[in-house]
Amino acid sequence: MSEKYVIGIDSGTQSTRVILYDSKGNRVARGAAEHPKLLAPHQGWAEHGADDLWGALKAASKDMFAHYKGKVEDIAAIGVSSQRAVFTALDKGGNLLCNPISWMDERWRMNIPSLGAVENDSPDPFYKLFWPYYSKANWLKFNNPAAYEKAVKFLGATGYLGYKLTGEFAESISNSFGLPYDVINWTAFPGDTEIEAMGMRRDQVAPPVSAGTVIGKVSREAAAATGLPEGVPVVMAAGDKQCELLGAGAVKHGQAYITLGTLSGLDIVFDQYKPAPDFSYTTYLSAVPKLYNYESMVSKGFWLVSWFRDNLGDSLKAAAADAGLSIEALLDREAETIPAGSEGLVVLPDWSPTALHPAGKGIYLGFDDRHHRGHMFRALVEGIMIQIKLGTSKMTEYLGVPINELYIGGGGSKSNFTAQIIADLFNVPVNRTKESENCSLGVAMCAAAGAGIYPDLQAALSGMGKNYDRFLPNQANHELYKALSEKVIEKLYPSLEGILKDLIELTAEKP
Q: What is the pLDDT of residues 439-495, one digit of tens each?
A: 999 999 999 999 999 999 999 999 999 778 999 999 999 999 999 999 999 999 999
b (16+ CB within 10 A) / e for 410-442: bbbbbbebbbbbbbbbbbbebbbbebbbbbbbb
Please give the average per-residue pLDDT across 315-321, as a whole number. 95
Note whether 5-237 and 299-433+474-511 share their fold: yes
Q: Domain spanning 299-433+474-511 has what CATH number?
A: 3.30.420.40
Q: How many CB atoms lie within 10 A of CB 488?
A: 16
For residue 218, the SS3 value is coil
Amino acid identity of residue 172, one-letter, is: S
* CA pair distance 251, 147, nearest whole angstrom: 40
User: pLDDT band at 1, cuts 50/70/90?
Assistant: low
Which phi-psi region, left, alpha or beta, contains residue 167 (left: φ > 0; alpha: ψ -120 to 50)? Answer: left
pLDDT at res. 80: 98
Query: Which among 60, 73, 181 has a CA at the least distance from the CA of 124?
Result: 181
CB 429 within 8 A of CB 471: yes
User: pLDDT band at 143, cuts 50/70/90?
Assistant: very high
User: pLDDT band at 74, cuts 50/70/90?
Assistant: very high
Among residues of the chain, what percentage have pLDDT more than 90? 79
**Helical pair 52-67 and 157-166, crossing angle rounded to 10 deg:** 60
**Helical pair 475-484 and 416-426, crossing angle rounded to 10 deg:** 70
Class of domain 5-237: alpha beta
pLDDT at res. 322: 95
* CA pair distance 271, 286, nearest whole angstrom: 10
CB 238 within 8 A of CB 246: yes
CA 156 to chain centre: 13
How do 264-270 and 292-298 pair as beta strands? antiparallel
How do 187-188 and 208-209 pair as beta strands? unpaired
CB 387 within 8 A of CB 395: no
Amino acid identity of residue 13, one-letter, is: T
Angstrom CA distances, 394 to 68, 173, 320, 364, stand at 46, 27, 40, 24
Residue 464 neighbours by CB under 8 Å, 6+ apart: 21, 23, 24, 25, 441, 444, 445, 448, 454
User: pLDDT band at 508, cuts 50/70/90?
Assistant: confident
Residue 215 neighbours by CB under 8 Å, 6+ apart: 162, 166, 168, 170, 209, 234, 235, 236
CA dihedral 485, 487, 493, 499 (to 10 degrees): -150
Partnered with residue 47 across adjacent β-strands are: 39, 101
How do 264-270 and 5-11 pair as beta strands? unpaired
Q: Given 3-state DSSP classes, what are the helix, strand and coil percentages for the chain, each rounded to the nearest 5?
A: 40, 20, 40
Please give the average per-residue pLDDT across 368-381, as a whole number. 98
pLDDT for 277 beyond 90: no
Residue 79 neighbours by CB under 8 Å, 6+ apart: 6, 7, 8, 9, 234, 235, 236, 237, 443, 444, 445, 446, 447, 450
Angstrom CA distances, 303 to 86, 307, 309, stand at 17, 6, 10
For residue 196, the SS3 value is helix
User: pLDDT band at 511, cuts 50/70/90?
Assistant: low
User: pLDDT band at 58, cuts 50/70/90?
Assistant: very high
> DSSP state, 316?
G
* CA pair distance 258, 260, nearest whole angstrom: 6
> Domain segments of the chain: what residues?
5-237, 299-433+474-511
Q: What is the mean pLDDT of the chain?
A: 93
User: pLDDT band at 510, cuts 50/70/90?
Assistant: low
* CA pair distance 69, 74, nearest whole angstrom: 11
pTM of this structure? 0.85
pLDDT for 122 beyond 80: no
